Amino acid sequence: MSGVGKLKSILRSAGERPMEWLSPTVTGCMICGKTVLPHHGSSYRERGMASYRLLRQCLCVSCFASIPWLDRIQCEVCGRGVDCGDCIRRPERHFVCNRSAVGYSSVMREWLAMYKYRGQESLAPMLAEMLVPSFLRLTEEQWLQRPQRGEARTHHGLHRLKAWMDSFWHPYAEAARRWDAITYVPVSRERAQERGFNQAQQVAGFLSDKLGIPGYDLLIRDRHAEKMSFKTRAERQRDSRTLFTGNEGQIRRLENQSHMSSRESLRILLIDDIYTTGSTAEACASAIIQLASRPVQLYILTWARS
């Protein structure tokens, strides 16, 4: 066993997770195959810096530069970079807000198609890694900006050393403990069979593993709907209302497992690939909330905002 393999198995046997599942490439850019040159830049955005650095090691200069990161948010609800009518049109909703990692540019559309329709499943960890900075920003903007009650930082030397060591071994622990569950938008059985996998489930699985937040299958897709993208806004909203039901067994399991948490409501992160009108997010959120016996705060994290 190699040194790294040995370290990973030691960590695993100690109940820990391996630090990274997206390993720097040795075969070239994951998108175009061009050589990836060693990179020593330090100009990354502050939060999620490790993710940007890791992505930079798996992508060539031009592919990395083509990512339209969405880090300037105009609409607090849907996370859009511009003002939007959708959220004004629909003032009532069951989820708190959506945040997306990137804008849905033609380049991002192509990357997603490589993964979803052309079966390049190896892109899953990279696409999941792209969500990490948005996850950290979302958690920070919701709960970490102001110190919470009972969480005042101690400056005792030993505590500081311990906090430093914790952040080394569990870099996401501080953010992860604000959440109770990660789940995903399910696809129909037909589509899953045709494609061989559900992209949102796969990405949610990677994130759950990396961040150390328990993953659950909280939703069931009721019927095979025609492709959403061919429908009008009204048709889509009507259809998605009847598309999902909560998975009662999993919802109870989550409620039982997080009954120790001192929080009043369950905090759930729902993963999907694209956020368009928010009707899928709304349908999923209301399906979960309907079955839950405790208050739920549901947040949406999507790869792209179209």
Residues in the site for Zn ion, rule: CB under 5 A? 29, 31-32, 34, 60, 63, 75, 77-78, 80, 84, 87
Nearer to Zn ion, 29 or 228 (CB): 29
Closest among 245, 241, 256, 121 to 181, alpha carbons compared: 256
HEC string for 55-124: HHHHCCHHHHHCCCECCCCCCCCCCCCCCCCHHHHCCCCCCCEEEEEEECCHHHHHHHHHHHCCCCHHHH
Cβ at position 232, least distance to Zn ion in Å: 19
- Numbers of helices and strands, H then E, in the chain: 14, 6
Cβ at position 63, least distance to Zn ion in Å: 3
Nearer to Zn ion, 84 or 107 (CB): 84
Helix (H) or strand (E) holding 233: helix 233-241
Helix (H) or strand (E) holding 245: strand 244-246
Nearer to Zn ion, 19 or 84 (CB): 84
Cβ at position 88, least distance to Zn ion in Å: 8
Cβ at position 31, least distance to Zn ion in Å: 5
Nearer to Zn ion, 78 or 127 (CB): 78
Asked whether 265 and 62 are in contact (CB, 8 A), the reply is no
Nearer to Zn ion, 31 or 182 (CB): 31
Cβ at position 15, least distance to Zn ion in Å: 37
